[in-house]
Amino acid sequence: MAVVVELRNISKRFPGVVANRDVSMKVEGGSVHALVGENGAGKSTVMKILYGMQHPDSGEILVNGQAISFKKPADAIAAGIGMVHQHFMLADNFTVLENVILGYEPTKGAVIDRDLARKKILEMSNAYGLEVDPDVLVEELGVGQRQRVEILKVLYRGAKILIFDEPTAVLVPQEVDELFAALHGLRADGMTVIFISHKLDEVLRVADDVTVVRAGSTVAEVKSSDTTPRMLAELMVGSELPSPETTGSTRQDLVTLSLKNVTVPSSSGARDVVSEVSFELHAGEIIGIAGVEGNGQSELIEAIIGLRNSTGSISFRSESVEHLSVSERRDLGIGFIPEDRQRQALLMASPLWENRILGHQRSKPVMNGFVIDKKATIADTVSIMAEYDVRAPGPDTPAMALSGGNQQKFIVGREMRGEPLLLLAAHPTRGVDVGAQAAIWNELRSAREKGMAIVMVSADLEELIGMSDRLLVMLRGEVTAELDPKTTTPELLGSAMTGAK
């Protein structure tokens, strides 16, 4: 097959950071080509260069054999290149339909032909298993549904070369199957897919070819049929694939968290998003909560931390906390890793040392009496960066300059630094490479052994099964099953999540 995209010695520097150093890759038309590498290896940067969002300092890009230089994404779109971003480019106060057609509105006379747009969006949704209501506001959607909107945007614009940045991060196995079936269908129609992922087993399942980058440079180009996940992991980070397996029980008698009939009403007045959920979590125990995106697991976590109003009883170490604010609950010893790091956990334009303060602005080392201790905060930020391998020039680096995985490592490090008694962890390893994933798992296992209680929500079913002492399944806001991680499988768990018998 002919090469439709070729990158030749692409280099890109930012202040204090070399993002890409002579990156080269060839992508054949009508294929699925995976791009893998650890966090900060330059994968997203080089794809943003291809998409016209960044401009290379040196190197050459060829599309269909012609040298090109895109000044902006609109140029790439006009050339048939679309990108589904890891961090969504959506307007929260617009509907799904308005986001999808923005800038490409079909008209009927002098007005937007919404009926035509809605029909096309629904056709694409049905064809690719990307079910979403065209008329709902994006601000009401969960992370997984937002990603579907991003995919629909690209398909709506008629791209022939599609760049997917971590597209399966929030999907359950059945949804991954549907997405991969769609990718194979696109490939059969002659389209080309560039697939960025940290899930190496998925990479080898869907990709024809794989390019591996490390520290901003290309280190290998291989055929999927000629390699294994372990070989790719070693090329990426020099180590074998980690395992989330947790052995032995560390459960203590002390009940850290108790929920009784917790219900979270819908903001739209429809059925409750969480309905009468009850369970107890002991010190030294991890409860994993599984569910297809949008079935109430995120809202449950937010109710426990105090971000959502709820009814029923929430007790922390036998103390009722329903009347307490978020900051008061955190002061008691509740840590929180939110599912959307950019919207809920970071000030993107602020330096890392200021982000270290978030959620901890009433405790040491951030505070010295009633005054922020800048020197101690900066020192602690440097310590977190070293311990969790957060790759950035220094504590003054703005959060937006970090890759998604490095942002996640910083957030995990910040929360673990507070040594919470209860940790609410929503997708704690989302978007991190295999090396960082292993480090985060080890931190959680160590904290569990020391008595920390953990509620974990994750779309990675292997992670849930491996890390959890107990598994709860949520469907339409209710806990519909409790499974034993020792005897369940991703397939059984996925079936329970979708309500299959």
Q: Domain-by-domain residue ranges, the chain?
A: 3-235, 255-498
For residue 268, give both structure tokens.
Answer: 């739209």
pTM here is 0.70
pLDDT at residue 17 in the model: 72
For residue 35, give both structure tokens.
Answer: 């791009």
217-223 vs 209-214, strand pairing mode: antiparallel
Distance, C-alpha 104 to centroid of its chain: 28
Per 3-state DSSP, what percentage of the chain is helix, strand, and coil (rounded to 5)? 35, 25, 40
Place of tokens 């899930």: 199
User: What's the N-to-C CA distance of the chain in angstroms?
Assistant: 44
* Phi/psi-derived region of residue 70, left when phi > 0, alpha when psi is between -120 and 50, beta in every other case: beta
pLDDT tens per residue across all 501 residues of the chain: 799 999 999 998 877 677 888 899 999 999 999 999 877 778 888 999 999 999 999 999 999 999 998 999 999 999 999 998 877 889 999 999 999 999 889 888 889 999 999 999 998 888 777 788 999 999 888 766 887 898 889 989 988 999 998 787 666 666 678 778 888 878 887 889 999 887 788 899 999 999 998 878 888 999 999 998 888 888 887 666 677 887 788 999 999 999 999 999 987 767 899 999 999 999 999 999 998 877 899 999 999 999 999 999 999 999 999 999 999 999 999 999 998 888 899 999 999 999 999 988 888 888 888 889 999 999 999 999 999 989 888 999 999 988 888 899 999 999 999 899 999 999 998 878 777 888 899 999 999 999 999 999 998 888 999 999 999 999 989 999 999 999 998 888 888 887 765
Q: Which helix (H) or strand (E) holds 383?
A: helix 374-387
C-beta of residue 334 within 8 angstroms of C-beta of residue 424: yes
Contact partners, residue 166, CB within 8 Å, separation at least 6: 86, 196, 197, 198, 404, 431
Same fold flag, 3-235 and 255-498? yes
For residue 455, give both structure tokens.
Answer: 């509620």
Which residue intervals of 102-156 are DSSP H helices? Answer: 114-128, 143-156
Q: Name the CATH topology of 255-498.
A: Rossmann fold (3.40.50)
C-beta of residue 307 within 8 angstroms of C-beta of residue 326: yes
For residue 480, give both structure tokens.
Answer: 């519909």
C-beta of residue 320 within 8 angstroms of C-beta of residue 314: yes
Counting Cβ atoms within 10 Å, is residue 446 exposed (0-12), middle (13-18) or buried (19+)? exposed
pLDDT at residue 186 in the model: 82
Q: Closest Cα partner for 80 from 190, 233, 234?
A: 190
Counting Cβ atoms within 10 Å, is residue 149 exposed (0-12), middle (13-18) or buried (19+)? buried
What CATH superfamily is the domain 3-235? P-loop containing nucleotide triphosphate hydrolases (3.40.50.300)
Q: For residue 431, give Cα distances in angstroms to 40, 87, 170, 405.
A: 11, 10, 10, 5
